[in-house]
Structure 1
Amino acid sequence: MTFATIILQNKERSAELSVKMHGEFKTHRNHILLLGSLRDMFRKNKPPKERPRESQARFSPYSPCSISSYYQIRDALPQEAARAANGSMPASVGLYDSLDDGLAVDDAELNLLFLSGVMESENCGWRLQMNATSINMDRTISKVTNYCFMMVSIAILQLVCLVHQVRQVANPGVSLLSLGQQAMLDAYLCLLHLTAGIVAESMFSALATAAFCEFVVFSMFEMRYLIACSHSRLGSSVNWYEAQADIGTIYGRFYGLLLCGIILVYELKDHYWFLTFVFYSFWIPQIVRNAVHAHRRPLKPLFIVGMSVCRLILPLYFYGCPNNFMKVPYSPRMCFGLTLYVGGQVVLLLLQYYKGSRVFVPAVFLPEQYNYFRKVKELESLREEEGGLDCVICMEPVDIKSPSKRMVTPCNHFFHQECLERWLQVKRTCPTCRSPLPPIV
């Protein structure tokens, strides 16, 4: 056990510190670092300019302020090490490198030091009780490096999913809110990683790499696809000036909402669980748009599942890993609830893709729907009509006797199912006579 008496002399904003050790003191690098941290903390304290009137009689800014400190430094017990790893230990004095040369990284958590003690000043009239633990910086840097490698891998997987989706022609059925919300998540991650790298200089390289990958994802791919989907809603008759105005509107709204989101996070920082569920509701606008406007297949299943899995990895790491480097408390209920919430959105989107955009809406609330696979009775008369037997999209013959392989429009023109579905993703008119067509639900 180690006891110390610390005498702090305050004279005209100058601080002089002397430490008197009492009892047995075992020389250890961590002990010295802890004492050095306490010394630096006292040196930063400056005497107040003015004292309360009731204390002026017994305290003078020119008189010595004696601070007695009694504390114990020892190796942390297993339960204390677990509490420190989970972030539930009281506030620590500072960051200490507790790795000796030759110590394995896996055993670093067992080398934590625990400090408990009391500081008091009789002539100043205050008493401070403190509990603190050391933080293994080598172990923390290793965790941050592995975390950044994980984030770079996630960014690469997101790029693969985006490239697979962008190969499809920009669909007006894609929800701009859904894409914009996902781009905002990547923008926030870019800002957080870059800010953390600037603050922690020893980890700047790893964090800056993760920030750069997130910047590439949201600025070069997601924003471009967002603009392409917005242009597809304007139609083919849009001129250059209208297209540029649309781009300016998209960027203005995006960065405006990005700033509002930062303010919202600051105001609701104590309700982190609510913010997490709000930010991970990015598929809900797409589900609503599919049901309202009868868009059946605006997004590919690989894009839906891949992006959902990539975005779930980050919160599952922080809430599901007890030894995460940010010391976020372990919360299996949060992991289960968030996975179930995002998984439910994915299931609804896949049902809309395979079964119809309004599959979960009761038939009572649906308008009358046109059946593109209706039976045709008068085959002889249809054969005589121009364009009745050939698909004008691919210029291949259509087997009108097989209802499951062809689609017929209200104007009695036949097309292959795949050809007409792709056509209706871009235009809602008949390829043959340009008549308006009802949506495929």
Structure 2
Amino acid sequence: MLCLFLLQLVAGLSERPQNISELSKMLYGYEYKGKWTSQKMEQQFHYLTVEQGDAYMIFLSNNTQQNSNDVIDRFEFQLLNPKYQELKQVIGMFKLTNYSDSDISFENTSVLNYTTAYKFRRNYYSKENCEIAYTVNVEFQGDNYDKEHAKIKVHMQTHDNSLDSHCDVDILMDLMLDTTNYLLVIIMYCAMSVMICFTQFLCVTKLCKALLENEEDPNKISLFAVGYLTIQDSYICLQNLYEALINYQYFQYFILPAFFYFLLATTCDMKLIWIVWRSRHLEDLFDQQRMRRAITYFFAQFYFSLILYFLLMYFFFTYNWFICLTGMCLLPQIIHNIRLGNNPRFISYFVFGILVPSMLYQLYNRGCPSNLRGLEPSLAFCMIYLSEYLLQIIILYIQYKLGPRSFIPKCFLPKQYNYYRTLNIQEDYEECAICLTSLMDDPFDTEAPTQKLVIKQAMQTPCRHWFHPSCLRSWIDIKMQCPTCRSELPPLLE
């Protein structure tokens, strides 16, 4: 008896839907995908110039509570040309009426509300005067009456009373249940984001510790490169937060990388910015008014750049040439090395652990066919983007090994200055302004007093201030300004 009851229960679940309520329980809220084909050769919906493309649709109800007992009364559809979101698309909605129990179909003439978009340029054209005759047929494969075996056929054709030439359409849609495992795609993306964020967190923490313990010189790190890193991390945080808010059913997945990137950008990255910025404004630390003015000016520039970057990414993130420009995150460090002209450092965990991981997001968006942004994969873009990063890393390493200006022709180099002067023991000279000792007594001279020469060399700046060679060379490695009068110093002639 129990087996017979179970068989009847299973048979009852797979019975043909007898009314719209039973059909609604079967189809409500599920997304169907397939192909659309055009029965006309002319342009439709402004610019659907191809004859077929991918189509998506979903049955919905006006009830905002999303109850499983709701009766479907409308369906939304999306026509892509040809596939990915940044290309041409049409998004529309029909109200469902005149349901037929005999052939499980809807048929009527309705006003079509639709929007069109091209490459996310936000040039939408809203049309509300298109009268379209539509039929929606639900067919089932064999005797399997469930959502997995439901086949949706939609036919949209212009009604005779339509006044808009752009509404002259004749389109067929053939759709099946979308069985793509979006949850797995989202989990893989969030896991990748958390791993990248954790790697950057460790490397930024290590760099901050090295700078505070004087193992690395903060003056040799580009403030623009560090600021750009913080802006990129802030954008990734905002992007994940946006995905969490619009995809509320996956909120718990997207909010995790958003939270970690928020911590990275607001704590570690900002601490690194402060360390690098402070090393360039040591003289302002003793004047509160100058310090307050300098901090205000810096953060005004930073937040202006942050907002500008967000706006540019909002409007141009689908353009490959723009993303290639954003990949030049090592260029500020290269220019910083050239400008200083001293011996640069190649900090491997700064390059490979902090700046390079940011490129993985763009490689994911442009290289993965099932990326969450719906962008079209491009092998050419991925190759160019990787080559761009590799070239920047090679230039940084050449600067470290051969000098920051070794690859620049001499005609483009700034004029160098010979600081060395010969001292005469019979003349009086001012003391070194750095170590506050006599020029004749170099504190870093390792020779014995009896072996020191009577005639020695010192360094004189263009502003006519004297220093020990060892003192001034150490100072120039930090700042190209005169320690006495703060005037700019030219590069040292080696």
Give the TM-score of the pair, scaled to structure 1.
0.63
Aligned partner of 2:444 in structure 1 is 391
Alpha-carbon distance, 1:134 to partner: 4.0
Query: Which structure: greater helix fraction?
Result: 1
Q: Report the equivalent of 1:240.
A: 288
Q: Cα–Cα, structure 1 residues 348 and 72, in superposed 2: closer, same or farther, change >3 Å? A: farther
Mark the CA change 1:435 to 1:313 in structure 2 (over 3 Å): closer, same or farther: closer
Distance 1:336 1:315 in 2: 12
Cα distance in 2 for residues equivalent to 1:439 and 1:114: 75
One-letter amino acid of the counterpart of residue 244, structure 1:
R
> What is the match of residue 434 of structure 2?
none
| Number of matched pairs | 343
Deviation at 1:294, TM superposition (A): 1.5
Whole-Å Cα distance in 2 between the matches of residues 288 and 34 of structure 1? 51
Higher relative contact order (CA 8 A, sep 6+): 1
Give me the whole-angstrom Cα distance separating, in 2, the residues matched to 1:221 and 1:385. 43
Offset of 1:276 from its aligned partner? 0.8
Question: What is the CA distance between 1:67 and its match in structure 2?
Answer: 4.3
Give how far 1:198 is off. Answer: 1.1
Quick one: which of 295, 306, 309 aligns to 1:261?
309
Match of 1:157 among 157, 175, 199: 199
Unaligned runs of 5+ in 2: 1-18, 33-56, 62-71, 76-93, 96-109, 113-131, 163-168, 423-437, 449-456, 461-466
Return the letter of the residue paired with 2:304: G
How far has the Cα of 1:193 moved from its partner? 0.3
Aligned runs of 1:101-116 on 2, under 5 Å? 116=153
2:135 is paired with a residue whose SS is strand
* Structure 1 residues 39 and 192: CA distance shift in structure 2, 3 A: closer
Compared with structure 1, are the counterparts of its residues 429 and 189 closer, same or farther at alpha carbon in structure 2 (3 Å cutoff)? closer
| Cα shift readout 1:229-262 (whole Å, capped 9, x = no counterpart) | 2232223354223223322222222222222223
Q: CA deviation at 1:155?
A: 1.1
Deviations 1:392-438 (A, max 9, x none): 8xxxx479xxxxxxxx97479575xxx9976544345899xx99986
Whose strand fraction is larger, Structure 1's or Structure 2's?
2
Q: Secondary structure at the match of 1:130?
A: strand
Of 140, 143, 155 in structure 2, the residue corresponding to residue 118 of structure 1 is 155
Q: 1:306 aligns with which of 339, 342, 353?
A: 353
CA distance in 2, matches of 1:351, 1:409: 31
Contact 1:171 1:425 (C-alpha < 8 Å) held by counterparts: no
1:223 equivalenced with 2:270 (yes/no): yes
Asked if 1:43 corresponds to 2:85, the answer is: no
SS at match of 1:357: coil
What amino acid is the match of 2:186?
V
Residue type at the aligned position of 1:334: F
Deviations 1:122-178 (A, max 9, x none): 6877754325464346x2112212211211111121122222322225633433322
- Do the aligned partners of 1:297 and 1:353 also contact (CA within 8 Å) in 2? yes
| Aligned counterparts of 1:261 and 1:191: Cα–Cα separation in 2 | 12
8 Å contact from structure 2 (residues 28, 59) kept in 1: no
Q: Distance in 2 between matches of 1:163 and 1:207?
A: 24
> What displacement does 1:194 show?
0.5
The letter of the residue matching 1:391 is F
Kindly, what percent of the aligned residue pairs are identical?
Answer: 22
